[in-house]
Chain A
Amino acid sequence: MTTKTISRRNFIKLSGMTGTALTLGIGFSALGKDSPVLTAALAEAQNIELNAWISIDTAGTVTIINHRAEMGQGSFQAVPQIIAEELEVDLNQVKIVFAQGSQTKYGSQITGGSSTVRGSYKRLLRLAASAREMLLEAASRKWNVARTELVAENGQVIQITTGEAISYGDLVADAAKLQPPKEVKLKSPRDYKVLRKPMPRQDIPMKTNGQAVFGIDKKIPGMLYAVVERNPRFLGKLKSFDDSAAKAMPGVKHILPVKMRVFSHDREGVAVVADSLWAALQARKALKVEWDDTAFPHHSSEQLYAQMREDVKNKPGLSFRTKGDFKRAFETSAKKLEAIYETPYEAHACMEPLNCIAHFQNNKLEIWGPIQGPDWVQADVADLMGLKPEDVTVNMTFLGGGFGRKAFLDYPHEAAVISKAIQAPVQVFWTREDDMTQGPFRPGMIYQCRGGLSEQGRLQAFETRMAGQNMDHQNPGADKMAYNSNVTEGFLETYLNSMPHYSFSDIPLESPIPVMWWRSVYSSTNGFAFESFLDELAHAAGTDPLAFRRNYFWDARYHELANRLEEVSGWKNRKPNEGWGVAITECFSSIVGEVVKVSRKPDGKIKIDKVWAVMDCGWYVNPDTIRAQVEGSIIMALAAATKHEVTFKEGKAVERNFDSYKMLRITDSPEIEVHVVDNEEKAGGVGEPGLPPFTPALTNAIFDLTGKRIRKLPFALEEV
């Protein structure tokens, strides 16, 4: 199997739209919502550029497009695995090609919200089955044998009675002339040969011998290297700079002021462009830059959190999702509880820091880089650069981590601005310090939760007031009186359904600090507040925390998940001197329950003995990818709970590298056991939903062991 990004011209050659190959795509926006399967001929007749998702040439070689980014989560495997099932081809024989960015061509490509599989699987199954049926039909005509006498298998059509076989390659010329079937029958999951199997990921061998090309590894002819000294304060301007010493250094080609868009503002800096990265890095040190930081507040973490603490007490905020009469129900409750939870700002800290190559020439722009949303980059960078989207070509490389950060447009925009100014191809490289201090960050949050229990210990009134920077309010022209319905992600909907009185309000904090999605987004912190508070309520009600949750489950899926979690973790056999905690959250259409068991080591310090996770993501592709994603989500959550945070002083991020932003290491990595629920529900997300329940399960376990309730993150496990 090979991978490369190919230009449209090559693509036409490769996929042979000349009629000698079978090339199928999906029609998107131009054709409305039903996104029909298209052949090359149909696309041409309707003047649509075919996206050629599946292409089989006369040699029988199958090329499959992956329209989403591969940042570790497994899209590189998942998209072909879905197609191979209905197409009846050997997954190891297919070529996988990254798509370029184009929403009109591929539909949404943003690799976020754990959406790759759940957003595309039905379409991809239908597309692959259509190709298979066209090949079967071509064979039926060629042999003059009824369709019912034929099966497709392993890249061939076979006559059931005689065993005679013909390869797909020998059928493509005829199949390409056929119309795609109006309807296709999809396999029952019981008959899957490829799907739901732990098929080895095809990108892995490239990642064990140094061959995988990440953005940072990409080189194009004549490419120069740039590093940018950016204002460390987020809304700061460039006042002046002295580049006399830097300019005289070997290899330096250009030094220029540069602006790039960050939400509604420009981030300002000075770019140093040289013939090698090392030369650019050395020359940047010799720059003398003066910033103008007069027009905005210089916040510190202490100020921000003091403000949020006051806000949750006193400000009404934006109210939404209210049911019944919380205030009255709370006041008349037999038992009242109130708790405040605090979560820190975080950096994404992808192992591959930001970087991007841009080549601007003749009013056209080509970009190569580790990019989560190539279609967004195409549309928005075109807009910022005054180009038409079709004049911007965006090529994806492998991403060395993304977690939300690489869905942002600042770094491709900056590369484009520099390339345009110097009229040469350039790679902009961000050092770890550049990457860590500029944001956007996961916003710090404070939650005030209040709950009222009835005489019988039933939760009858629930309120959450959350303060923190609102991600949507940063956009140009944002309505700051509008709430964002995603803000309640991670609050278990099933509980809310069964609660007579609840109320949420969001109290946006104003600050120049840019904030952005971080793996599992709102749920990454909402889950901590909500599932911690439920545990507090369960204890106040004198009920087992898992049994307490069961009282509010609205549908059978949750009961099944809880039963499975109870069984695999041995929840019923808990022993004294052990701490057990549970949490269940739902986000991106998947439900995950986790149990954490902790105990004290002989030196009295707490250790995590084991973590059990049960993931219900409905229809799924690859159970081993799911296990890997849940393991990784748990470890990322543990890091954010116990190791690192971003703090601010005088308007600047304090943590600059891994010596102060302490990453989780193998020594802190617990034993994790992941179970995947088998059902026929709609596909849910896989890359993120394993993250939110971990931290509350851990702190609930610590409470169970020690009686100490942890309400502020991060905390040091060894100091509990």
Chain B
Amino acid sequence: MASISFTVNARPHTVDVDPKMPLLWVIRDVIGLTGTKYGCGIAQCGACTVHLNGVPVRACSLPVTAAANKAIVTIEGLSADNSHPVQQAWIEEQVPQCGYCQSGQIMAATSLLKRNANPTDSDIDAAMQGHVCRCGTYPRIRKAIKLAAQKMKNPTSKS
């Protein structure tokens, strides 16, 4: 067991866990934030994506020790009231179906838009290709990312 400290959505936490435990299970089962999902456990599907010091990471394959003294942001930290422009764009374009992969998709899209305010289709492909959606919401994800980019410049933008 190891004692590890970090912040989750700006709140400090210290956990006493097996140092090999992936960050995903610490977030879900120790901290109790279940918006971040398990999909494959081998960093192939992106359902577990969170931001670690602002960078999207696959929490299923990252040992908790890698998060020591760092800042983690999960879907719950983006905004609880869906006020983030990416969440708003996701709602306006009616992206989710089952919704299971969408936390990861949204975290990846948020990170893309932070780096690139005007992503092209190929920028979107590059940033989002690690994220699997079995319901097939990809056409709407593409539209929502473009709408979110607009909203970040002008919050009243509509699709």
Contacts and interface: CB of A to CB of B under 8 A. Distances in A.
A149 to B, nearest CB: 40
Contacts of B95: 204, 208
B139 A671 contact: yes
B25 A278 contact: yes
B99 A207 contact: yes
B119 interface: no
Interface in B9-35: 17-18, 21-22, 25, 28-29, 33-35
A209 B87 contact: yes
Contact of B134 (A216, A351, A398): A351
Contacts of B96: 72, 203-204, 207-208
B61 to A, nearest CB: 12
B70 interface: no
B94 A201 contact: yes
A518 B120 CA distance: 35
Interface in B34-57: 34-42, 44-45, 47
Interface in B76-133: 76, 78-82, 87, 90-91, 94-103, 106, 124-125, 128-133
Contacts of B135: 72, 351, 401, 632, 636
A250 B16 CA distance: 13
Majority DSSP secondary structure for residues of A touching B: loop
Contact of A657 (B40, B128, B130, B131): B40
B99 A276 contact: no
B75 interface: yes
Contact of A663 (B28, B37, B38, B134): B134
Contact of B140 (A203, A349, A352, A628): A628
Contact of A432 (B18, B40, B125, B141): B40
- Which residue among A201, A278, A398 has the maximum number of chain B CB atoms within 10 Å of its CB? A278
B82 A205 contact: yes
Interface in A178-206: 198, 200-201, 203-206
A340 interface: no
B98 A351 contact: yes
B136 interface: yes
Nearest to A198: B94
What size tier do the contact residues of chain B reach? 35 or more
B74 interface: yes
Nearest to A668: B138
B142 interface: yes
A536 B85 CA distance: 50
Given A204-B94, A353-B38, A669 B45 contact: no
B136 A350 contact: no
A649 B96 CA distance: 36
A276 B98 contact: no
B5 interface: no
B94 A663 contact: no
B134 A350 contact: yes
Given A72-B135, A278-B18, A667-B129, A211 B98 contact: no
Contact of A209 (B28, B29, B82, B101): B82
B7 interface: no
B44 A658 contact: yes
A636 B106 CA distance: 21
Contacts of A624: 94
B150 interface: no
Given A631-B139, A666-B131, A658 B42 contact: yes
A669 B99 contact: no
A42 interface: no
A400 B42 contact: no
A720 B128 CA distance: 26
Interface string A389-412: 000000000111111000000000
A666 B142 contact: yes
A534 B141 CA distance: 35
B98 A628 contact: no
B82 A351 contact: no
Nearest to B128: A666
The 6 closest A-B pairs by CB, nearest first: A210-B35, A635-B136, A400-B100, A207-B99, A72-B98, A72-B97
Interface of A: 71-74, 198, 200-201, 203-214, 216-217, 250, 276-278, 282, 349-353, 398-403, 431-432, 624, 628-629, 631-636, 657-659, 663-667, 669, 671-672
Interface of B: 17-18, 21-22, 25, 28-29, 33-42, 44-45, 47, 74-76, 78-82, 87, 90-91, 94-103, 106, 124-125, 128-142
Given A208-B102, A352-B37, 16 more contacts: A72-B99, A200-B91, A208-B90, A209-B75, A210-B103, A282-B18, A350-B134, A351-B45, A351-B98, A352-B39, A400-B37, A628-B97, A657-B40, A663-B45, A666-B125, A666-B128
18 contacts: A201-B94, A204-B90, A204-B99, A205-B82, A208-B87, A208-B95, A210-B36, A213-B34, A278-B25, A352-B98, A628-B137, A631-B136, A632-B135, A658-B39, A663-B45, A665-B131, A666-B128, A669-B139
